[in-house]
Chains A and B, each alone.
Chain A
Amino acid sequence: MGVEKIDAVFTNRKQEGRRALIVYLCAGDPSPEAVATAVEHLAEIGVDIIELGVPFSDPVADGPVIQAASARALANGMNLEKTLLLVQMLRVRLNQPLVLMSYYNPLLQYGLDKLARDLAECGVDGLIVPDLPFEEGGPLREKLKSKKIAAIPLVAPTTTPARLNKITSIGEGFVYCVSLTGVTGARDSLPPGIAAYLERVRKVTDLPLGVGFGISSPDQAVMLAPHCDGIIVGSVVVETIYKKGLAAAAELVRELRQVI
């Protein structure tokens, strides 16, 4: 479980000459049951890693789509405890690694000791905290390490070489490469220089590279694939489910799966 399970996904995909597909869904949007159904369905059609977002009232790294999904989930009474119940429920049938994305305050208020214990018990394999830079992340990383849960680091195009070295040297699972300077949300085009940026990250770490933020189409995924080990899609899937239903989102995910 945990770090090893995530490592195995990337190793297998690499041997096949393919990339891992990582899909983000907001826990509790619109209900835990609906998310469970979506996760199971998407896993069946080839999603490699499930990223579940714990809703937060002030998600500053997110764009309007995930912000709205978070607000819907909170209005339905979702919280970290219920997200963990959802994970437990999913774990029974799901083989894929499952990582949680949460802003720091809900984790901190839950209590870091209790958090690490419960994440492990529920079967969470990794954790992404978008507002916790490595300087402040020591206490959480320590707790996660003791439970073999991956502390997945984030890097951005603005990250300096010195920071890149420090961040990747303590990360686990994969490096979450934020594709652009901006918040989450589908974009028509990816920023120029993204290949050079990913090569820069590649040079300093042996960890697999997952690229996220702004990816909305199979064409973009094809363009990115040669430069990374995994593609992360969130807003476009969340919005498609919300506006067109799960079947339409599944179709998009199937297309993405085929091209990377």
Chain B
Amino acid sequence: MHLPDVNGHFGSYGGRFVPETLMPALEEIEKAYREAKEDALFIKELNYYFEQYAGRPTPLYFAANLTKYLGGARIYLKREDLNHTGSHKLNNALGQALLARRMGKKRVIAETGAGQHGVAAATAAALLGMECVVYMGEEDTHRQALNVFRMELLGAKVIPVTAGSRTLKDAVNEALRDWVTNVETTHYLIGSVVGPHPYPMIVRDFQAVIGQETRRQILEETGRLPDHLFACVGGGSNAMGLFYPFIQDDGVKMWGAEAAGLGITTGRHAASLTAGRPGVFQGAYSYVIQDEDGQIEPVYSISAGLDYPGVGPEHSYLKDTGRAVYTAISDFEALEAFQLLSRTEGIIPALESAHAVALAMKIVPGLSPEEIVVINISGRGDKDVEQVQRVLRKGEKIRGS
């Protein structure tokens, strides 16, 4: 079955839950996207930027040292960290910025948590000569100060959001308010497979290049499909991008790593699929971390990019149908994986991607050496090294006291 359906539903998930002011804009984006998808020139231009600007295809690297260390399946790393701007986010930002230009919009707005999407959006806007405003939770502007500077260098205006928990969900609220106000001139460049239809579909399709390349590369390299795919899930765009081209292949198991933060039982986590329940939040029906009254609860993760109380509706569908399995990874486990990949392979992953590596570390040792695993390294860790340094130093003090 081809999903989403005409109303943007993945089973019971998805849909459009936004103020009426935005509904015509969503219809316009869907129409423009469906036309663009069929337009050979649009696809050609997108592919040109993917190849000549972003640096695609990204390598599928056989991680021999990690494979040896974990002693199970053969591990390949999909190197989205080698994209221009350092993460998978540029795939979607380029696609949507080209779409916005096609719709005649000269201004794009975006929200960002870790800054990866903000940097990608600012980059695509600079490339295409568009005005760019990025909303970022004030808390995140401190955690990711370097990325704020990057966005400003790229000509974007970064607006710190002081409402609520001062993190990603509040940045999304502010971006939605901006969009409601400036909808006729502005395209909201949503950064993940979340929000109202058609965003989960559009972002998935632009990110599906990850899975399409992986499929081609692994077939060339090994002559067969992988047995397991691993990716981190905040909103879930890199995971959807990797998973989507394999959904019909029942033999390929899909694993999503959510943020367990300080532990699910502490209540300080961001694991929507593991510990949330279905509800309507920021434009879609999906798993949400909420209290009994349906109020959205504060979330926490060491990784600003995973620190979000919702998740893409297609992931909710994949969870309920059992097609993908979602497991929560703690800050501690992610930090271990962050260091392990750095030491064994000389690759410093983003803290987000470290969650995927950590989940693979749990599963891979139990697999046979004939099995093939692909872990999506969705972004590079440069943005996180200072934060990790602070945490590790603090940890040493705690252990030493």
Contacts and interface: CB of A to CB of B under 8 A. Distances in A.
Interface of A: 56-58, 60-61, 63, 67, 71, 74, 79-81, 103-110, 130-133, 135-136, 154-160, 163, 167, 178, 181-183
A57 B176 CA distance: 15
B294 interface: yes
Contacts of A109: 279, 290, 292-294
Nearest to B294: A109
Contacts of A58: 164, 169, 173, 281-282, 296
Interface stretch (B17-25, B212-220, B264-272): B17-25
A182 B290 CA distance: 27
Given A109-B293, A160-B24, A182-B181, A67 B163 contact: yes
Given A58-B281, A182-B180, A156 B292 contact: no
A108 B21 contact: no
Please tell me the size bucket of the interface on B.
35 or more
B368 interface: no
A interface: dominant SS: loop
B177 A56 contact: no
Residue of B21, B27, B180 with most chain A CB atoms under a 10 A cut-off: B21
Nearest to B283: A131
B interface: dominant SS: mixed
Contacts, number: 111
B164 A133 contact: no
A108 B294 contact: yes
Nearest to B174: A60
B17 to A, nearest CB: 5
B16 interface: yes
A105 B280 CA distance: 5
Contact of B290 (A105, A181, A183): A105
Contact of A135 (B16, B180, B184, B281): B16
Contact of B280 (A108, A160, A182): A108
A178 B279 CA distance: 26
B295 A56 contact: yes
Contacts of A60: 18-19, 173, 176-177, 180, 282
9 contacts: A58-B296, A60-B18, A79-B293, A108-B279, A110-B293, A135-B7, A159-B23, A163-B24, A183-B181
Contacts of B283: 131
A101 to B, nearest CB: 12
